Structure 1
Amino acid sequence: MRLPLATLEIFTAIARHGSLRAAAEALGIKPSTVSHQLKLLEDRLGTALFIRTTRSISLTEAGRALIRGAGPAFDQLSEAVESARSTGHAARGTLKLAMPEFAYHLFVGPILNSFCAAYPEIELELSLTDALSDILGEELHAGFRLGDRVAQDMVAVRLTPPLPVTIVGSPDYLAARGIPDTPRDLLGHTCIRYRFQSSGQIAPWSFQSSEGGYDVDVQGNLIANALPASVDLAKRGLGLAYTFKAYVGTQIAAGELQPVLDDHLGPTPGFFMYFPREYKSMMPLRLFIDHIKRQQSV
């Protein structure tokens, strides 16, 4: 039997409020509609659900059996509707984010202490991947990427200003192989290249000159698909790595890595967060974006 939900809602209201008129007022409908729907339900079930007198109304045995099952069910439905109404509109709930590992180290990890302290009821799930994630297919809320080129049905919000890049090598490597004076000199060096996880392509080493930007097709016998690994290989003296300057700032300051060719390098477009338009008003996502922006401006 197909469940007549609207009619069952009216029956539940009568049982809880003690009269047809009180049920009508609670539901915001006419008393005649309540009476008509109750008759339809009783006819469909083939039994009376209430004993009516001129002064009162009370449940029959069948009515008591029905309210024992229908009452809790409608309570659960009401809770589910309210949960759906509030999800994404309060400072609580789950926020699932995909990001490259170096983005986590650069600017997400450092703000998590303050974010979690400010919003303890938001549960963060971080998927660390350099691949461009399928937000909808992977049931994520948002992802991070360099630049604002995203699918037409996605929104891109800038999180960071353009980020300077650098090329680094260990002091031992540079002492043995020499310091390159121009990007062309890299053709005589061992360069640790980066392969994109999603496309499988090798990332270009891009440079700037007075005539515009250009790439150098560097070579080397080491390829990694994670930036932390590339930097670690450079620290071990195995070659030069192309990376974000902020990512290796500590190692440069400690003398573990030495930057080269900075005068020939321009900044990247900066990081953007991308997400479906439908999540634009999702409160946990808005709070996370605002928090990152505030921390970037400090």
Structure 2
Amino acid sequence: MRLPLATLEVFTAIANHGSLRNAARALGLKPSTVSHQLKNLEDRIGTALFIRTTRSINLTEAGRALLRGTSPAFEQIAEAFESARTTGHAARGSLKLALPEYAYDLVVAEFLPSFRSAYPEIHVELSLADAFEDILDTGLHAGIRLGDLIAQDMIAIRLTDPLRLAVVGSPEYLEKVGVPCTPEDLLVHECIRYRFHSSGDFAPWKVEGPDGASDVAVTGSLVVNSLSVAVDAARRGEGLIYLLQDYVAKDVLGGNLVPVLQEFMPDVPGFFLYFPRAYREMVPLRLFVDHIRQHGGQ
């Protein structure tokens, strides 16, 4: 069966650019040609790929399934074309990463300047979010997250060793309120809680005890959705915070924050880079992984 590559390119452009008119502009085609090509593809597949209204165009379930399968292929075709065109020159292309803010601070920030200096023609786009994004549906190439529990069609590469969690507070707060000695003591402390952007849920405060891991139902009158704000509030004596120990390593070393309940703190698996198998030969992604490994990563 001959693949409808031209119509698939039109479909991908519509999905990426959000409208038929924008896709036509990107491809250098007339809007009527784009509309005709899309109709031909939908007729060939036998189902609608987009839900169209006067104000928006959105992928159907079939459209999302098709995009998940075709996006990596078109990315690789474009990369192969660019690689052939620029053989003997610097690496080029784009690298779009999804990651939470704390992953940027702990993993990416240190290496990003040297990576961009080494590969100035690679365009890096960072999408900062605390959700485990469907990177193909959002047009991204890879993501960074804690842990290696990912979908079966993804590859996970370890970027860091396992990391320790911590509860910390300022010396002033602990002197005024007292130092908690057991996880249950947290119930009478002012705990600064983090609310996830994506789900609206509170981040759990997990501890290890004789009976295994458990969550402590902490309370507090300050809720944030930014770790940097939480750390600043803790420095100012507003309460205790629960986060990765490495995130506040400098504050602990400088005496601005003091760890408590250290014997009850669990480890987490560390940071992993995850990406679709179809992107495993993508040059900018491979160079990024190699760069982190060469400069202190796993």
Question: So what's the TM-score if we normalise by structure 1?
Answer: 0.68
Matches within 5 A, 1:71-150: 83-87=78-82, 91-150=91-150
Opposite residue 244 of structure 1, the aligned amino acid is L
Q: Secondary structure at the match of 1:176?
A: helix
2:82 & 2:155 partners in 1: Cα distance?
20
Q: 1:246 aligns to what?
A: 246
Q: 2:230 aligns to what?
A: 230
Q: 1:151 aligns to what?
A: 151
User: Aligned-pair distance for 1:154?
Assistant: 2.1
Q: Secondary structure at the match of 2:241?
A: strand
Residue segments in structure 1 that go unaligned for 5+ positions in a row: 1-80
RMSD of aligned Cα (Å): 2.1
Between the two proteins, the alignment pairs up a number of residues equal to 218
Q: 2:257 aligns to what?
A: 257
> Structure 1 pair 205/84, CA: closer, same or farther in 2 (3 Å)?
closer
Aligned 8 A contact 2:159 2:297 in 1: no
Opposite residue 295 of structure 2, the aligned amino acid is Q
Residue segments in structure 2 that go unaligned for 5+ positions in a row: 1-75, 85-89
Q: Deviations over 1:45-84 (max 9, x none)?
A: xxxxxxxxxxxxxxxxxxxxxxxxxxxxxxxxxxxx9855
1:88 & 1:132 partners in 2: Cα distance?
31
Aligned 8 A contact 1:95 1:284 in 2: yes
Question: So what's the TM-score if we normalise by structure 2?
Answer: 0.68
2:159 & 2:83 partners in 1: Cα distance?
21
User: Aligned-pair distance for 1:210?
Assistant: 4.0
Q: Deviations over 1:192-243 (max 9, x none)?
A: 1112222222111111234422221111111112222211121121110001
Q: Deviations over 1:232-263 (max 9, x none)?
A: 12112111000111111111122211111111
> Structure 1 pair 157/297, CA: closer, same or farther in 2 (3 Å)?
closer
Aligned 8 A contact 1:88 1:282 in 2: no
Opposite residue 148 of structure 2, the aligned amino acid is D
User: Aligned-pair distance for 1:113?
Assistant: 2.2
Q: Deviations over 1:24-48 (max 9, x none)?
A: xxxxxxxxxxxxxxxxxxxxxxxxx
Task: State, as a whole percentage, how many aligned pairs show the same letter.
Answer: 53
User: Aligned-pair distance for 1:92?
Assistant: 1.7
Opposite residue 179 of structure 2, the aligned amino acid is I
Residue 277 in structure 1 maps to residue 277 in structure 2: yes
> Structure 1 pair 245/99, CA: closer, same or farther in 2 (3 Å)?
same
1:203 & 1:295 partners in 2: Cα distance?
31
1:231 & 1:88 partners in 2: Cα distance?
44
> Structure 1 pair 256/276, CA: closer, same or farther in 2 (3 Å)?
same
2:156 & 2:82 partners in 1: Cα distance?
22
1:232 & 1:82 partners in 2: Cα distance?
46
Q: Secondary structure at the match of 1:181?
A: coil
Q: 2:185 aligns to what?
A: 185
2:234 & 2:97 partners in 1: Cα distance?
29
Aligned 8 A contact 1:183 1:261 in 2: yes
Runs of at least 4 residues of structure 1 off by over 3 A? 81-84, 86-90
Report the structure number with the largest CA radius of gyration. Answer: 1
> Structure 1 pair 283/88, CA: closer, same or farther in 2 (3 Å)?
farther
